[in-house]
Structure 1
Amino acid sequence: MAGEPAGSGAARMIAPPIPPQRERFPHLAALTGLRGVAAWFVVFYHARLSLTDWMPEGALAAAGQGYLAVDLFFMLSGFVMWLNYGPKLREQGLSGAKSFWWRRFARIWPLHLAVLGALVAFALLLLATGRDAANYPLAELPLHVLLVQNWGFTPELTWNHPAWSISTELGAYLLFPFAVLAARWESLRPLALVAGVVLCAALLHAVFLVAGAETLGDQITRLGLVRCVLQFGIGILLANLWLAWRGRKSALAVYAACLACGAALLLGAPETLLVPLAFATLLLALALDGGPLARLLSSRPLVWLGDASYATYLVHFPLLVALKLVAVGDDLQIAPAVFAAYLLVLLVLSGALYRWLEKPAQKWLNSRSPYATRRAVPAE
């Protein structure tokens, strides 16, 4: 056997097996750009009711659908988690779960805690000045610190409202290692993976139907966790579909499926069924495609927006609340110039937090992981 030294009369020394090299997947820049665009849709969604005096009706209608961007985030997260961590967890089994969980903690918790700390100071200032601080219940603060506030413990969104989705993502991260080992997803045929996507979307629709929820944005504190976990699962299935179909000219067919889902929505099909399917086909098409739309989303400005999107997502709502306190009158409307200034401040603050808080904190925590392994996992 090659590589095995042997000697007469001596014990044979068997060389240690060389661990298999996991494939390095290309960076799908279009998906990073898509995440950036989605984050800014959420920004306009939360601000839209204060822009009705001057924003065109069509733009307001589009902004009114911005709550659906989180569904795209959930799928993107499942997709990226599989590509970055699925093969590693497959090799290591549950022994690798602690390292994975630490890395996710390092990714999401430091910035969340920093924003939450700023809100605690803000809530104390409200109390000290006799203002209403009902949206900042101190009794619920431990749940927010631990990021479990949207696991069915609270009836309403409080503190930093958008962080509800980060709470549910934490639930998906905890389940992810078990999902990886539950089946050999990478060995399934594409038809079976497509069927899995449809089944997850149908199950999500059934849950919302039974709960009496007509849109994906209904009953967030009750349904948000299942909404995240099922769409995170769709992302895992899509990653395996991409692995099976990459290199083939499949993007046009997948775009056609996306358009079909969009047409069905316009004709009155239920949002809770068709939006997940539409987003699934869009995400897969962009991952497979190298055409104009993918190139646009891969442009440097949009990729930068995607890199800073977590900071944008977490900080935009507290910043909007502060803006309304100091620059909004009784009509609750934000003037165009004031709103433009808000967007600029948000853009700069997002970049600053990403560069000088989020990434350094992530690096610092990962360097001190008690579960560190020799082989680094690429950041996502």
Structure 2
Amino acid sequence: MTQTAFLDSPHGAASIQSGTVAGERFLVLDSWRGICALLVALFHFPTASTISQSAFVGSSYLFVDFFFVLSGFVIASSYGWRLNQPREVARFAVVRFGRIYPLHFLMLAAFAGFELLRLMLPQVHGAGAAPFTGGFSLQSLLANLLLLQGVGFEDQLTWNAPSWSISAEFFAYLLFAGVVFTAGARAWVWFVAAAITAPLFLLGFSTHHMDVSFDFGFIRCLYGFSLGALLAWFQHDSIAGARQALARTGPLLSWTLAEIVMAAVIVLFVALAGDNDAGIAAPLVFALALFLFAHEGGWISVFLRTPLILTLGALSYSIYMVHIFVQARMINVASLVERKLGLGLVGDIVLRGEPATGFGAGWAGDVAILVMLLVTIGVSWITWRCVEMPAMAWFRRLSKRI
């Protein structure tokens, strides 16, 4: 995530580049991405525990909007000045495709493999729908392979359900590249238009507030992505200068207090706004948080730059993409153990007012959450090392041949 000049910026390319450090990353924002990925995983994990039933975790689907805002900020910071030639647009598309698709394909293969296992082995069939039906149909598999599952082609969440967001985000990448290539320095006008019209559209047409995915997920993505791009478009200079000044002085009390207040605002907002139209303001809240934490000026930022939290940031995409598969297999394994030993690990529960199959209350639910998080992080480390990193390197090499 670099801070670089933009095409025909009113500040001038030289002035912006002189205020940055080449190759500098927003490390704290990386860490926030990892934390948000774990919170989305918690949201999806069905247990009757106090943690799962809390208002905050129950509305943590909103942290997907943090990903959209951060992606707009990062992409605009890195590419806003570079997409002025067709070959640069092509390189951009290749690199972004290589960033998201290999792991997406691997997880589709994992889900399809399990459906085949259900088809062949009655003991793992379960009491659910027949293999390759419903959200796991072959038609939906094709839509997922074409990255169409989050742009209105499906009528339900399918296969690796969270992947709707990478479908929406990939087409947001392409739209961003087309707008910048066509409009140049005036591209920001289009981002403003999207940031205004998208929330109005959701207010007018969404029946689930901000909790839209396969239906209006692309609109939701454009909303957050455009806000992040605007933040980068107009504030990269001020952030770069402030970061350099703060790097010399070290963490300040005023910035620490601001970070504490911002973290509290996020927790309260998510807990209170997830089940009503106020949640449509989530990208605005996250854009403000992104602006604050991009400065890395307080002691919370210092904590977020520790190696453990930075590792979570590096694993964030893998965490997001593998957690549903890990959770589903945990329930499968617990169900088999329960049938053999009668331990009562899983059963019918009510989660946020809806019937579900999951882990029980008390220690069973809390232990299951801990195990889920540890296993998800472990699997994510493997996919990050063995899939994400090699794929990114290969697609970067491919893009340089264009």
What's the TM-score, normalizing by structure 1? 0.80
1:297 deviation in Å? 1.8
Amino acid at match of 2:163: A
Contact 1:106-1:361 at 8 Å conserved across structures: yes
Q: What residue in structure 2 maps to residue 6 of structure 1?
A: none
Matched, 1:349 2:379: yes
Structure 1 gap segments, 5+ residues each: 1-18, 374-380
Matches of residues 152-301 of structure 1 in structure 2 within 5 Å? 152-181=152-181, 182-184=183-185, 200-218=194-212, 220-246=213-239, 247-248=241-242, 270-301=277-308
Structure 2 gap segments, 5+ residues each: 1-12, 247-253, 336-345, 349-356
Q: What residue in structure 2 maps to residue 142 of structure 1?
A: 142
Instruction: Work out which of the two has the higher radius of gyration on C-alpha atoms and give 1 or 2.
Output: 1
Q: What residue in structure 1 maps to residue 50 of structure 2?
A: 55
SS of 1:88's equivalent?
coil
Matched, 1:95 2:96: no
Map Cα deviations across residues 48-68 of structure 1 (whole Å, 9 max, x no partner).
xx322x3357x7221111101
1:98 deviation in Å? 0.5
1:86 deviation in Å? 1.8
Q: Using the alignment, how far apart are the partners of 1:366 and 1:267 within structure 2? A: 42
Q: Using the alignment, how far apart are the partners of 1:257 and 1:337 within structure 2? A: 30
Matched, 1:109 2:126: no
Q: Using the alignment, how far apart are the partners of 1:96 and 1:265 within structure 2? A: 38
Map Cα deviations across residues 301-323 of structure 1 (whole Å, 9 max, x no partner).
11110111111100000111111
CA 1:341–1:214: 2 relative to 1, 3 Å = closer
- The sequence identity of aligned pairs, in percent, is 30
CA 1:254–1:234: 2 relative to 1, 3 Å = farther
SS of 1:71's equivalent?
helix
1:356 deviation in Å? 1.6
Contact 1:45-1:63 at 8 Å conserved across structures: yes
Map Cα deviations across residues 333-361 of structure 1 (whole Å, 9 max, x no partner).
42233432222211111111101221012
Selected match of 1:362 from 382, 392, 399: 392
Q: What residue in structure 1 maps to residue 38 of structure 2?
A: 40
Q: What residue in structure 2 maps to residue 330 of structure 1?
A: 347
1:283 deviation in Å? 0.5
Contact 1:262-1:278 at 8 Å conserved across structures: no
Q: What residue in structure 2 maps to residue 16 of structure 1?
A: none
CA 1:123–1:179: 2 relative to 1, 3 Å = same
Q: What residue in structure 2 maps to residue 309 of structure 1?
A: 316
Q: Using the alignment, how far apart are the partners of 1:81 and 1:240 within structure 2? A: 10
Contact 1:201-1:277 at 8 Å conserved across structures: no
CA 1:117–1:261: 2 relative to 1, 3 Å = closer
Q: Using the alignment, how far apart are the partners of 1:184 and 1:123 within structure 2? A: 49
1:70 deviation in Å? 0.8
Q: What residue in structure 1 maps to residue 342 of structure 2?
A: none
1:267 deviation in Å? 8.2
Contact 1:36-1:309 at 8 Å conserved across structures: yes
Taking only aligned residues, the RMSD between alpha carbons, in angstroms, comes to 3.2
CA 1:154–1:266: 2 relative to 1, 3 Å = closer
Aligned length: 340
SS of 2:136's equivalent?
coil
Q: What residue in structure 2 maps to residue 86 of structure 1?
A: 80
What's the TM-score, normalizing by structure 2? 0.75
Map Cα deviations across residues 73-98 of structure 1 (whole Å, 9 max, x no partner).
00111111112222222xx4333110
CA 1:84–1:339: 2 relative to 1, 3 Å = same
1:263 deviation in Å? 7.5
Q: Using the alignment, how far apart are the partners of 2:325 and 2:104 within structure 1? A: 12
